[in-house]
Amino acid sequence: GAVVSQHPSRVICKSGTSVKIECRSLDFQATTMFWYRQFPKQSLMLMATSNEGSKATYEQGVEKDKFLINHASLTLSTLTVTSAHPEDSSFYICSASAELAGGIDTQYFGPGTRLTVL
Amino acid sequence: SQQGEEDPQALSIQEGENATMNCSYKTSINNLQWYRQNSGRGLVHLILIRSNEREKHSGRLRVTLDTSKKSSSLLITASRAADTASYFCATAGGSEKLVFGKGTKLTVNP
């Protein structure tokens, strides 16, 4: 259980275009999903917290107009990188919050999306 | 912001040896979690230890937590080549957010 998928797994686009990444919880409902960014050989940096039916909460320094997040249902959140530039090239990972036995929430991660902007 | 600091940054051992990775953090926590990431892939949840626990086991994994020192360790016993991956600690405070450490890249040589 607790499987999270991401689509696409890899995308190459031209500078100036927009790219949409989907994150789905396949076998559970997630009121909260998270979007992370990971540069090569570095750790995950939280970009935003996505709550179903409400606006996302962005971390300091993350441009909300550039990284549009929509959490339209309990199983789907999307991240749109608008007007992408080469510096946006990165590995984007989503996670969905689920409750473990014992009542503690933890996050289950998708396989990631490798974005390359030419 | 980054809270956890893992050490070592990289660890290379032979199959069958034990691997120990450490994580330090700065603020108070509700729990600490360890994740594994194979190259270019997503993260896999390994184990969670609550702030009131000192040690936890899961198969070949042993995690300790010392809240007075704000540190945790992950021990993998009898390592296998398939354990080669990056390992991250992540702390959870009062919210659902996780703050990840920088990770330890483990290489297990056959």
Give residue for tokens 């559970």. Answer: A28
Q: Cβ of B31 and A42 within 8 Å?
A: no
B18, β-bridge pairs: none
Residue-wise pLDDT for A7-18, tens only, equals: 999 999 999 999
pLDDT of residue A100: 65
| Minimum-distance CB partner of A108 among B41, B45, B101 | B45
Pick the residue of B2, B3, B41 with the most A CBs within 10 A to test the interface with A by mutation. B41
Please tell me which residue of chain A has the smallest CA distance to B96: A105
Pairing outcome for strands A113-117 and A10-13: parallel
Summarised one tens digit per residue, pLDDT across range A23-78 is 999 988 888 999 999 988 888 999 999 988 888 999 999 999 999 999 888 899 99
Q: Which CA distances in Å does A105 have to A30, A97, B15, B97, B105?
A: 11, 6, 34, 10, 26
The span from the CA of B73 to the CA of B93, in Å, is 18
CB-CB under 8 Å, B45 with A112: no
What pLDDT does residue A93 have? 96
CA distance B103 to B5: 7
Interchain contact, B43 vs A44, CB within 8 Å: yes
pLDDT score for B3: 57
A50 vs B: CB within 8 A: no
The tens digit of pLDDT for each residue in B51-67 reads 999 999 999 999 999 99
DSSP A100: P
Q: Which residues contact A98 (CB under 8 A, 6 or more apart)?
A: A2, A25, A28, A30, A105, A106, A107, A108
Neighbours of A55 (CB within 10 A): 12
DSSP B53-102: -SEEEETTEEEEEETTTTEEEEEE-S--GGG-EEEEEEEE-SSS-EEE--
Kind and range of the H or E run holding A24:
strand A19-25
Residue A38 CA, chain-centre distance (Å), reads: 11
The Cα-based distances of A53 to A42, A66, B20, B82 in angstroms read 32, 20, 43, 41
Q: Which residues are A96's β-sheet partners?
A: A33, A108
